[in-house]
Amino acid sequence: EAQVTQNPRYLITVTGKKLTVTCSQNMNHEYMSWYRQDPGLGLRQIYYSMNVEVTDKGDVPEGYKVSRKEKRNFPLILESPSPNQTSLYFCASHIGIPAGNEQFFGPGTRLTVL
């Protein structure tokens, strides 16, 4: 089954404790991205990657890092989490070639930073 998986699904942590949220897709997609969703602000893109070793900032990249060492994986790293990073996070992927294609989303990771 074609899917995007994220782990963990729920995480409660404390300020300053480094964490990584993993994202993996099994569709051989070139394009992957991370979004955060906050009440009243909708979905906002954090980082995206157009291929292995190619990453770029989205609209709200501050406080986040990403890496793309393999095509299937795109982890989101919070080096020093703060309470304002409490949010619902989604990873997404799509094939990336020109013309219309759908974007697949993971199930989400609900992060709480105390």
Minimum distance of other proteins from residue 82's CB (angstroms): 22
Footprint on this chain of other proteins (rule: CB under 8 A):
4, 31, 33, 35, 37, 42-43, 45, 48, 50, 58, 88, 90, 92, 96-100, 102-108, 110
- Check residue 84 and report its DSSP letter: G
Give the separation between CA 85 and CA 114, rounded to whole angstroms.
Answer: 10
Minimum distance of other proteins from residue 63's CB (angstroms): 19
Task: CB nearer to other proteins: give 16 or 41.
Answer: 41
Helix, strand, coil distribution of the chain in percent, nearest 5: 5, 50, 45
Nearest one of 37, 14, 13, 15 to 106, comparing CA atoms: 37
Task: CB nearer to other proteins: give 17 or 72.
Answer: 72
